[in-house]
Amino acid sequence: MTSATVRFSNLFIGTRANERNERDASMITTRPAIGTTRPAGAVVVRGRRGAAARRGSVANEGNARAFSVTLRERFASGAATTRCERVGRRVATTTRTTTHAGRTRALQTAEDTPVDVGSAFDWHANWFPVAFTADLEDDAPLTFTLLGEPLVFWRDKSGEMRCVADRCPHRLVPLSEGRVNETGELECGYHGWTFTGEGKCTSIPQIEQGTGLETALKSPRSCVAAYPTKEAQGMLWVYPTTMDKAPATLPDLPLIPEYDDPECVCQDIFRDLPMDWATLLENVMDVSHVPFTHHNSVGKRENATPVNLELTSENGVTAKGFEGIWKEGPRKGKYGTQFTEYQAPTLMRHTLRTPSFTTLTVVYAVPTTPGRCRLMARFPFIFKAALPRFFFGLYPSWFSHTNQNAILEDDQIFLHKQERLIEIEQNNNGATWNYAKSCYMPTKADVYVSAFRKWITEIAGGGPAWPKGMSRTLPPQETTREALLDRYHSHTINCKSCAKALANIGKARKALRVLTFVALAAAVATFSRSMPPKYTVMLSVLSAAAALVREKLGAFAQKMKVGPYPPPRRPPSMMEAALQQARIAF
């Protein structure tokens, strides 16, 4: 086994007396200057708090902290540990071999997370999911905002999905308000200009043939930016770099290999959320909130236990994300160890494997605009037996979406408010602000959250690359619960299954209304004509049953428009229950 001795300078950071509350910081990370890349063979270093040193030359300085930096190298045949011998400001690090190959890193606190800062993260060099293919319309354009840029998608005559910037170069109106014409091209609804999937303008009706039309059509100013798209695993993807600037070989899609298993069945849902993409991802990484926030929906308070999370990725947090493990797993270890992977910038997945099934929680958090994002969630189940797969497939999508939306709403209100409090903290502290200063996270349950926030600040430039000139501030806080619990605009109207179900429920309720009054009138008629009482009773029961079913359908239709309040974790007050019943009735 190879041994090596590496010498490097130890970093000493003094702190003033009024900054002693920051002494729980357990790590510093070195990173290259902006615009530079890490040299080949560079290693990740971690630092732990050393003995305090005193600066006698500065009267108002308090006890200073000395941070020593530990170097750790790993070899293919085993792991090498390091022993630091600090002398003054210099440290000699000697590597020695161990017999424990490939051991994982057990983190002591949420802050003790190594970060490997490579070259600058490029937000536009990644694939982003936009919609599930089951919700796409073949004869109408679809608009979607990604990283602050409005885009429009449509299916051309060849059956391929196309994407261009959602603004006509003529007068900058959204092309999504137009139509897909007979040739499969996108036609602007304002003046009829038409565009191919490559963004080339093919028609300007306002110019006659032979009077400069060809010159205008060949002008780059008549074109619209076009973007690469793909369809895979039932999802529509877009690469937010224009075709003329995209590399010849695009990166792989962030797919889920288990989805392609022939024994896999999957439930999908999307929703446009009134929160930032980072708030969403942080929430789904936080496994310790489930027993409390989602009590009586997908969790139970009595199942809560101390949560000890560990990072298992070789280099800690990198530009690609990180991996982690929860050895005990949820529900007091009932389903075994849970594995977590964050694949930057949008994908987070939890995996549980048991002898009888494998289940995943997959979340894509797609940044749309500051303070808003699209959630695209998948719940693949791999059953070894055929019977569970059969019953799983019996649930219609619109029915499962109602339940899944309710789970999302368990924490939607306070997350919307939380990120605005964090924004205030950030504005008050300026350049010195960091997430760990505002939030006290002393437990290993926050390891994933801490690692994710480090990825954002130290690798991803602080957040998405919004368009130049776009405000980075959050939109104003919603003032009503109905706006935060809205399901109709955030999901139903863009979900083909739910939209059809809502329309069919409306038709059924109209028919039941007619049946209610007809049966009631018939019951009155039979009674007035002294017909046998059984006919009157039968018709009365039919009228009442029709009215009851109509009311039940009305309550279900209401769930497709707005979520109920309060969440299941607490019983409603008398006033809340009365208002909920009144809302359903009207």
Which of 74-88, 349-363, 385-399, 400-414 is predicted with the least confidence, judged by mean pLDDT? 74-88
Nearest to 148 by CA among 463, 456, 423, 470: 470
Q: How many other CB atoms are there within 10 angstroms of residue 431's CB atom?
A: 6
Helix axes of 533-559 and 397-408: crossing angle, nearest 10 degrees: 50
For the cut 60, the answer to whether the pLDDT of residue 349 exceeds it is yes
Q: Would you place residue 85 in the very low, low, confident or very high pLDDT band (cuts 50, 70, 90)? A: very low
Structure tokens at 554: 């009305």
In DSSP notation, 154-166 reads EE-TTS-EEEEES
In 369-434, alpha helices (H): 386-392, 397-408, 412-429
Q: What tens digit of pLDDT does each residue of 486-499 get?
A: 999 999 999 999 99
- Is 60 exceeded by the pLDDT of residue 80? no
> Among 86-90, 111-115, 218-222, 310-314, which is the least confidently predicted range?
86-90
Neighbours of 385 (CB within 10 A): 10
Contact of 227 with 151, CB cutoff 8 Å:
yes
Query: pLDDT-derived band of residue 110, with 50, 70 and 90 as boundaries?
Result: very low
Q: Letter for the amino acid at 451?
A: A
Contacts of 120 (CB under 8 A, 6+ apart): 34, 35, 461
**pTM score above 0.75:** yes
Compute the distance between CA of residue 548 and CA of residue 239 in angstroms, rounded to an integer: 50
The fraction of the chain above a pLDDT of 70, given in percent, is 79
What pLDDT, on the 0 to 100 scale, is given for residue 260? 96
Rounded to the nearest 10°, the torsion over CA 214, 219, 220, 224 is -50
pLDDT at 99 exceeding the cut of 80: no
- Spell out the SS3 assignment of 462-507: CCCCCCCCCCCCCCCCCCCHHHHCECCCCCHHHCHHHHHHHHHHHH
Q: Give me the pLDDT at residue 431, please.
A: 81
Is 252 or 101 the better-scoring residue by pLDDT? 252
| pLDDT tens for each residue of 300-319 | 999 999 999 999 999 999 99
Pick the closest to residue 276 from 489, 34, 453, 493 (CA basis): 453
d(CA 558, CA 554): 6
Of 436, 443, 401, 418, which is closest to residue 563 (Cα–Cα)?
401
The answer to whether the peptide bond before residue 380 is cis (omega within 30 degrees of 0) is: no
pLDDT score at 575:
85
**Per-residue confidence (pLDDT) for residue 573, from 0 to 100:** 85
User: Considering only CA atoms, which of 134, 128, 173, 181 is closest in space to residue 154?
Assistant: 181
CATH architecture group of domain 257-479? Alpha-Beta Complex (3.90)
Question: What's the confidence (pLDDT) of residue 111?
Answer: 52
Instruction: Report, as an integer, the average pLDDT of 453-459.
Output: 94
Write down the pLDDT at residue 91: 34
The type of residue at 125 is: A
Our separate counts of H helices and E strands in the chain read 13, 24
User: Among 61-70, 112-121, 299-308, where is mean pLDDT lowest?
Assistant: 61-70
Mean confidence (pLDDT) of the chain: 83
> What is the residue extent of each domain of the chain?
5-103, 127-238, 257-479, 493-561
Contact 207, 216 (CB under 8 A): yes
Least Cα distance to 298 among 276, 330, 336 occurs for: 330
Fold of the 127-238 domain: Rieske Iron-sulfur Protein (2.102.10)
> Quick check: 159 and 271 in contact, CB under 8 A?
no
Closest CA to 170 of 193, 198, 189, 149: 193
If you ran DSSP here, which 8-state letter would residue 103 be given? P
Structure-token pair, residue 224: 């619209």
